[in-house]
Structure 1
Amino acid sequence: MLAVSAASGIFGRLVVDHLLARCPAQDVVVAVRAPERVADLAARGVQVRRGDYDAPDTLRTAFKDADRLLLISSPELDPVRRIRQHRSAIEAARDAGVGAVVYTSFLDADVQAEGVTEAHHATERALRASGLPHTLVRHPFYSEAFLNPGLHAAILSGVLDDATGGRGINTAFRSDLAEAAARVLTEADHLGRAYDFTGTLWSYPQLAQVLTRMCGTTVVHRVRDSASPGAQGWLEEQVRGGALERQTDDLRRVLGRPPTTLDEAVTKILARPAPGSDVAK
């Protein structure tokens, strides 16, 4: 039996899709806070159980009979609460007799205990202390934060501007990371390993060249002095400082193929209707 926690989110649903391509639906359990949100998965034959990170008793029941559990990190932003939720999930997995845990951590969580990796660092330590066999799959930032249908605006204006300083970006798409998680859950030889996943390195100057080649009109790359507002601006600052240039071969090796390339990603994005267009309504 394979269990997936927090499976009602975008990433969790992608993992379930990949699992259903690899094993019978009756062998897949999803643990979600609100079972009614995944009625479509139940209709596909997946076992749906209530599993709330803030209610440990529900987790023990949800994880029962699971040979392997994909512990998807909580969406909670407060690290203190997030750590408490993850520790509760690990304790519930141990109490329920789960055979092994696969945890979606974050790049550099093994060496950085503060900032975006704080809860992941603590969770990795808690897993080691639990004695449960486990695998760590450390994610980079999602490519969707940068590569999305908003690129249509750059094509219309002929200008792609950003504040990343032209530095490399090692993001990966959720679909690739979800497939990798499904493989780790269902294949042998992954237990005890820690994978540092990165996608194919790309940059905004390269993206402007790809857009120009694919849309048939010139898209000029322009360096912007000021960062975007909010979280996007913070991400741009990380890129500009070189924090997203680390690369490993782990994702390619687990997938058995190269991660989605910039060309492949742009092709898919341009095939979708532009936001606000009549076709998108």
Structure 2
Amino acid sequence: MIVVTGATGALNGATVDHLLERLPASEIAVAVRDTSKAARFARRGVEVRRGDYAHPDSLPAAFAGADQLLLVSSNDPTADAIGLHRAAVDAAVTADVKRILYTSHQAAAPDNPFAPGRDHFATEQLLAASGIPWTSLRNGFYAHSLKWLAGPWRETGVIAVPSDGPVSWTAREDAAEAAAIILAARGPYDGPITITAPAAPTFTELAEIASELSGRTVRFQRIDAEEWAAAQSAAGQPEHMTRFLLGFYQAAQGGFFAGTDPLLGELLDRQPRNARDALQATSE
């Protein structure tokens, strides 16, 4: 039995869809906070269970019988992500789960300026200490985020951000499919594995790509971090979100998102989507 958490979200929901192309529905269960939102899976014969990291008592039953458990990471920047993940790992131990797969990030590191990278690293330490075999899916930074992180270049003709660091922009859809392939294969992946697009363009290179796609000159402008933060605040962005996003740009400048790996293409047996594809999608 494969149990997938967070299946009402975009990432793990797509993973379940890909699993259903490879395995009988009777071999899959989803653990979700709101079971009514998982009706589409129930209609296809997938067992729907209630499980909420914030309510640890709900988790052991939700994870029961799992040969493999796919834990989605918390994506709420205001939540105690490590505490939520600890509850999930503890429940997996209680439920005698045979293997945990966790949606981590390629930038999992204790010194990452981007807070989720630190949370992912801490969660991997929890997994390592659990005694359960585990796989950490260190996905590249999701490419659909370019819609926000590259700024309103379609209107201004300028990518004006506080970094020119490289980022291996990776399609969330590809990462979801890769997770399904690994789960269905019950392969020998242990510990962290890196799942990224094949290239990590800088923002200067993104401006060049945007120019080609739009047929007009799009230039890159690196702006002072505090000036950028002040502009975000002036535009109504909450302070905690401004600092959260600034951590991303600082991490990019520090090279935390620069690594690439051929594994994603090998798993998919095709060329993964890349930053050009993402910019094309946000241009349409």
- TM-score bin (small chain): 0.7 to 0.9
Q: What residue number does 2:153 align with?
A: 154
Moved more, 110-119 or 242-251: 110-119
| 1:189 Cα deviation from its structure 2 partner | 2.8
Whether the 8 Å contact between 2:52 and 2:58 is mirrored in structure 1 is yes
Q: Report the 3-state secondary structure (helix = DSSP H, G, I; strand = E; otherwise coil) of the residue aligned with 1:7.
A: coil
Equivalent residue number for residue 175 of structure 1: 173
The aligned counterpart of 2:268 is 255
Amino acid at match of 1:252: G
Give the distance between the partners of 1:110 and 1:214, measured in 2 at CA: 34
Query: 1:109 maps to which residue?
Result: 108
In 2: Cα distance, 1:122 partner to 1:21 partner: 33
Q: Which residue of 2 aligns with 1:51?
A: 51
Structure 2 CA distance, aligned partners of 1:247 and 1:142?
Answer: 13
The two structures have a TM-score, normalised by structure 2, of 0.81
Counterpart in the other structure of 1:8: 8
Structure 1 residue 61, shift from structure 2 partner? 0.9
Q: Hey, what does 1:236 align to over in structure 2?
A: 249
Counterparts of 1:160 and 1:232, CA distance in 2: 19
Counterparts in 2 of 1:16 and 1:154: CA distance versus 1, 3 Å: same
Contact 2:6–2:13 (8 Å) recurs in 1: no
Specify which structure has the bigger relative contact order, considering alpha-carbon pairs within 8 angstroms and separated by 6 or more residues.
2
Query: What's 2:86 paired with?
Result: 87
Check 1:167–1:82 CA distance in 2 against 1; reply closer, same or farther (3 A cut).
Answer: closer
Residue deviations 1:122-178, cap 9 Å, x none?
A: 322222222111111112332222146988x53454x13222554322231211111
The answer (yes or no) to whether the contact 1:113–1:121 under 8 Å persists in 2 is no
More moved, 104-113 vs 252-261: 104-113
Unaligned runs of 5+ in 2: 233-241
1:268 aligns with 2:281: yes
SS at match of 2:45: coil
Q: Give the stretch that moved more between structures: 16-25 or 190-199.
A: 190-199
**Separation in structure 1 between the aligned mates of residue 47 and residue 179 of structure 2, nearest angstrom:** 19
Change (3 A) 1:222 1:39: same
Q: Specify every segment of 5 or more residues in structure 1 that has no aligned partner in the other structure, as ranges.
A: 272-281
Per-residue deviation, 1:14: 1.6
Aligned-pair distance for 1:224? 4.0
Which of 60-69 and 123-132 deviates more? 123-132
Distance in 2 (alpha carbons) for counterparts of 1:218 and 1:192: 46
| Alignment partner, residue 201 of structure 1 | 200
Distance in 2 (CA, whole Å) between partners of 1:192 and 1:54 is: 27
Q: 1:84 to 1:214 in 2, by over 3 A?
A: closer
Please name the residue that 1:222 is paired with: 220
CA RMSD between the two structures: 2.8
Q: Could you list the per-position Cα deviations for residues 166-213 of structure 1 after superposition, in whole angstroms to 9, with x for gaps in the alignment?
A: 432223121111111111211143342420233231233333333333
SS of aligned partner of 2:138: strand
Q: 1:113 to 1:60 in 2, by over 3 A?
A: farther
Q: 1:89 to 1:207 in 2, by over 3 A?
A: same
Whole-angstrom distance in 1 between the partners of 2:123 and 2:252: 26
- Which whole-Å CA distance do the structure 1 matches of 2:57 and 2:189 have between them? 27
In the alignment, the residues of structure 2 paired with residue 251 and residue 193 of structure 1 have an alpha-carbon distance, to the nearest angstrom, of 16
Q: 1:242 to 1:75 in 2, by over 3 A?
A: closer
> Does the Cα contact within 8 Å between 1:141 and 1:172 map onto a contact in 2?
yes
Corresponding letter in the other structure for 2:62: A
TM-superposed CA distance for 1:112, in Å, is 4.5
The residue identity in structure 2 corresponding to 1:139 is N
Q: CA deviation at 1:244?
A: 2.5
> Number of residues paired by the alignment?
267
Q: Residue deviations 1:53-97, cap 9 Å, x none?
A: 122232111111222110111234357x32232222122222222
Question: 1:127 matched to which residue of 2?
Answer: 127
Cα displacement (A) at 1:108: 4.3
Give the Cα separation in 2 of the matches to 1:238 and 1:118. Answer: 11
- Report the 3-state secondary structure (helix = DSSP H, G, I; strand = E; otherwise coil) of the residue aligned with 1:70: strand
Corresponding position of 2:67: 67
1:29-50, Cα deviation, whole Å (9 max, x unpaired): 1101111122222223221110
Cα 1:223/1:149, change in 2 over 3 Å: closer
